Structure 1
């Protein structure tokens, strides 16, 4: 594409590593949702909400595009939203697998900021790809979805995107989860992939 991704600054790397160390020192599962985590979750910027409009999300998923089960979870989300018109599903970028994950998360956040109505299509199109996901692959999906990938690239490298990613790390630490996907469903925190049947059961319980 001829559009190199800007390397992460020392400040960005240190911020991400410090947050991940804090998460790694915590248990992998936290239940129930703590008041501190709820406060961070409610205030989290860059949170993509799909499904029912003007509805508080019943499900929030913490995402790393290179986590082993992310694609599976993305298609689960599609099934859940298709089957429940009243469901709102939020996505928070919490990349931790590597630099490629951070690059792709930057692109996703830029798409959300610039074209929120297009985010869901971009997200599922990215899930339909194969192999490792990094910035260039995410920008290729942006272009395939008819968005201006040059503008998205420039937006992806702005300081506000770095701030959102830093807050995502802080949220993961407060939730005391290391592995993604991870979910907040109602007041329950689920670390690691939950299959579609389990998510449906948790959503039904939280909706009561």
Structure 2
């Protein structure tokens, strides 16, 4: 119908498609002149709203079309924002002095994981991550503590970050594997027990728990997650791709192959 584009434009302009999906500034700039209401009088606006209302009552499927289009535009804007944030924070994402690096520190491709020690899906994915590292000695694994599930998660992450200040490499991998792979709730007490098992200096660990470095590291991870629109765990970054959820070892291998091919021809952090 020739009338339908005008109706869809009016819906976008007056917000009948839902205030929660209000278009961004860039989206507004892309709207046709007919959709602008900046110079529309109250009477004209009322007539437009009446026309749209009548049309929607007769053709309710148009509202669904408008919602789908607005959601599509919102997703596109979010992806552009994520790509911009990714490039601006690439060095911090891959090379932050605060992060834990496991696997091969000099590897040719980096797998970044945002995780929570109480995340069930992270626990399930642990075995696959370990299999990846065993099968591919060129992978550099970067751990980003992202405690989002509970206060216990925050406490466990604090211990993990403080432990990194004295233990790294295989011993830290042992700690990480035991805490993430263990049963029950991860919290400060459980994390301290595991740290003791792997030979941590407990006096120093207790002291470091209250350090600015612990606070700054977790704040840095949370900020990166916010900028990259990461709101759940596990979430992986491989090359320029964000992989959400416990997607399985085959999917991660595919991403690693693509990232390795890209890294081979570009200058920068991989």
TM beyond 0.5: yes
Alpha-carbon distance in 2 for matches of 1:57, 1:112: 22
Structure having the larger proportion of residues in helix:
2
Q: How many residues align?
A: 182
Of 132-141 and 66-75, the range deviating more from structure 2: 66-75
Alpha-carbon distance in 1 for matches of 2:258, 2:94: 21
Alpha-carbon distance in 1 for matches of 2:225, 2:92: 10
SS in 1 for 2:120: coil
Residues 133 and 139 of structure 2 are in contact (CA less than 8 Å); yes or no, is this contact kept in structure 1? yes
Aligned counterpart for 2:138 among listed residues 71, 78, 86: 86
TM-score of the superposition, structure 1-length normalised? 0.79
Question: In the TM superposition, what is the alpha-carbon distance from 1:46 to its structure 2 partner?
Answer: 2.1
Deviations 1:107-126 (A, max 9, x none): 11111111113211110111
SS in 1 for 2:142: strand
**Residue in structure 1 matched with residue 52 of structure 2 by the alignment:** none
- Equivalent positions of 1:39-50 (< 5 A) are 39-42=91-94, 44-50=96-102
**Residue in structure 2 matched with residue 101 of structure 1 by the alignment:** 153
**Residue in structure 2 matched with residue 199 of structure 1 by the alignment:** 252
TM-score of the superposition, structure 2-length normalised? 0.62
Residues 122 and 234 of structure 2 are in contact (CA less than 8 Å); yes or no, is this contact kept in structure 1? yes
Structure 1 consecutive aligned stretches of length 4 or more whose deviation exceeds 6 Å: none
Bigger Rg, structure 1 or 2: 2
Alpha-carbon distance in 2 for matches of 1:162, 1:56: 30
SS in 2 for 1:171: helix
Q: Relative contact order, CA 8 A, sep 6+: which one is greater?
A: 1
Residues 37 and 175 of structure 1 are in contact (CA less than 8 Å); yes or no, is this contact kept in structure 2? no
